[in-house]
Amino acid sequence: MRKRSTAREPRYEVDVSLKARDIAKLGAAIGFKVHDRGEMLGTIEIGQGGFRWKGRAGKSFRRIRWTKLFEQLARC
């Protein structure tokens, strides 16, 4: 019988921040900072208006509207 491998360290780490007490407020968003083995991959912000992301070296966010995001996800 094969012995189980020991638990390994998770590859990805996600830090979450909330910019407002109530997500329904104007300008409120949830932010995610995604790391791969300690290296920053990028930042994602999710709000009522849409989905925004920028890479680790990006200076500004790229906005994707909810309808466009779901169309892209449906293709996968």
Given pLDDT bands bounded at 50, 70 and 90, which one contains residue 2? low
Tell me if 5 is assigned to some domain.
Answer: no
Spatial distance between the Cα atoms of 68 and 65, rounded to a whole number of angstroms: 5
Spatial distance between the Cα atoms of 3 and 1, rounded to a whole number of angstroms: 6
pLDDT at 50: 82
What confidence tens digit (pLDDT) does each residue in 35-58 have?
998 899 999 988 877 888 999 998
**Whole-structure pTM value:** 0.66
Task: List the domain range (segments joined by +) for residue 21.
Answer: 12-75
Tell me if 38 is assigned to some domain.
Answer: yes
- Total domains in the chain come to 1
Cβ 43 vs Cβ 54: under 8 Å: yes
Res 30 pLDDT > 70: yes
pLDDT at 65: 87
